[in-house]
Amino acid sequence: MKTQWWKNAVGYQINPRSFYDSNSDGIGDLRGIIQKLDYIEELGVDCVWICPFYRSPMDDNGYDVSDFYDVDPIFGTLDDAKELIHKAHKRGIHIILDLVLNHTSDEHPWFLESRSSLDNPKRDWYIWQKPRFDTNGLRIPPTNWASFFEGSCWNFDESSGEYYLKIFSDKMPDLNWANSEMRKEMYHMASWWLDLGVDGCRVDAVAHLAKDATFSDSEMELNRDGVALDWSKFSNRPELYDYLHEFHDKVLVNYDCVSIGEVGGGAGVKDALQYAGYHAKAFNMVF
């Protein structure tokens, strides 16, 4: 039986911004990685994970994606990405894409459509809830859930009069994985990059794709911001594994690729086995 290439691979992580600057503008770029492929090969590396280089406002180092199908100009062009993949493969080096599935930038066209009106077809591609009001009639968020970054995980949108969920930055609204049309588009995007030649994906923040759809308050102690960081509301939830099985069956199974899940939210050994156990049908490995 042929051993899967990734099982014996030597990996190397590259943040393109800080790796190598090919044009002296003070920012590393894809051409800089291309120019250093011989160096990477000499290190004995045969698998490179590249942090996000999608088009982005860069609120969170590129994890706030505004276009999944393009390269941000500070890093180069899509042709540079294609050349990097091709020249890496000539040296026996595999390229791992950083795949962001939990959220987009608030400047992504999907979100701009979603927030444009309550009846927009993409409204349900993100998670919206009406405000609550306290005993003084003041508007408060739909739940007391805390963001990983700071404050509430809800941000009020003045134009539509509702809150959107964002478990990270205000600039990174969470996608609604309960929406099948949205999932279909994400699967298409992942397949598009794999068809382009990338050899696998490191899936960012994958533990948080499924949320508690009851949107009930946490009973945990509130912090000084008056919110509770309760991982159980949006981490490692039972519904998540249905999404991952679907992602596996519709995307990953069609390629000789490696899949790596970034699993947080208090995941333990039992959770890890559901992500990457022998019969998990989700990922090859997690961290």
**pLDDT, tens only, 230-249:** 999 999 999 999 999 999 99
d(CA 145, CA 235) in angstroms, rounded, equals: 12
For residues 187-216, average pLDDT:
98
Our answer to whether residue 60 is catalytic in this structure is no
Spot the catalytic one: 106, 170, 199, 204.
204
Checking if the pLDDT of 59 tops 80, the result is yes
Residue 1's pLDDT is 52
**pLDDT, tens only, 121-155:** 999 999 999 999 999 999 999 999 999 999 999 99
Indicate the pTM of the whole model: 0.96
Residue 2's pLDDT is 66
Judge: domain 5-102+179-215+235-286, CATH 3.30.300.130.
Answer: no
For residues 16-36, average pLDDT:
98
Our answer to whether residue 262 is catalytic in this structure is yes
Domain boundaries, the chain: 5-102+179-215+235-286
CA pseudo-torsion sign 100, 231, 286, 45 = positive
- Judge whether 138 and 96 are in contact, CB under 8 Å: no
Residue 271's pLDDT is 85
Spot the catalytic one: 21, 59, 246, 262.
262
Residue 196's pLDDT is 98
Q: What is the percent of the chain with per-residue pLDDT over 90, rounded to a whole number?
A: 93
